[in-house]
Chain A
Amino acid sequence: GAVVSQHPSWVICKSGTSVKIECRSLDFQATTMFWYRQFPKQSLMLMATSNEGSKATYEQGVEKDKFLINHASLTLSTLTVTSAHPEDSSFYICSARDLRGRQETQYFGPGTRLLVL
């Protein structure tokens, strides 16, 4: 399968600071990437769709000014959590859309664990 990486794998920050998470497709180009959030013992919740060269599309209830998404190249999307607060502590996972095969599929990154103190 295709490889998607995330950096950092975990981060601890103080309340009020901003944190940037990178998502990279390592062996394919991805015009579309997705960002998910997962709280303990819960399923993945889609936050936004990241499109290369255009604005991201956010799911209902997700603040676009708080979760800034930039998809500047075909292999990189970034999620910046601005003015982070303890309630933003979560497991953030990205996925990238792979169109190389006969049918599309999506591959997920390993996730980034964010702890806001």
Chain B
Amino acid sequence: DAKTTQPTSMDCAEGRAANLPCNHSTISGNEYVYWYRQIHSQGPQYIIHGLKNNETNEMASLIITEDRKSSTLILPHATLRDTAVYYCIVRVANTGNQFYFGTGTSLTVIP
């Protein structure tokens, strides 16, 4: 069951930051927020995940609101290769539970 809401599509200028929002108002205390992306005709690629603290890695930053009801994935300097469908998923970690994918956000990076 997809328990997240994301905009269907977004555009971003190349070189600018891409901010992808996700609403997860029914998130439970032990559920993590995961972000994956899928470039056309490829398998999903793991980006980042977090529980309540903001997280950053070499790909992106994840900002989670204090009430945990929403989050934002930030790609600091978008490139054309970042054009993909981005999925926000909430699930309990370390349980072996499946990932249920929603419809995601189709991000187009414009030259």
Q: Using a CB–CB distance below 8 Å, which chain A residues touch chain B? A: 1, 4, 6, 32, 34, 36, 43-46, 49, 91, 93, 95, 97, 99, 103-111, 113
Contact = CB atoms under 8 A, between A and B. Distances in A.
B96 A43 contact: no
Interface in B30-65: 32, 34, 36, 38, 41-46, 49
Interface in B9-44: 32, 34, 36, 38, 41-44
A95 B49 contact: no
Contacts of B100: 46
A28 to B, nearest CB: 13
Contacts of B94: 99, 103-104
A3 to B, nearest CB: 11
A46 B101 CA distance: 8
Contact of A108 (B41, B43, B49, B102): B43
B46 A97 contact: no
Given A1-B46, A110-B43, 9 more contacts: A32-B96, A43-B102, A44-B38, A46-B98, A93-B44, A95-B43, A97-B96, A104-B96, A105-B34
Nearest to A97: B96
A44 B32 contact: no
A49 B102 CA distance: 18
A101 to B, nearest CB: 10
A34 B41 contact: no
B32 A103 contact: yes
Contacts of B101: 36, 43-45
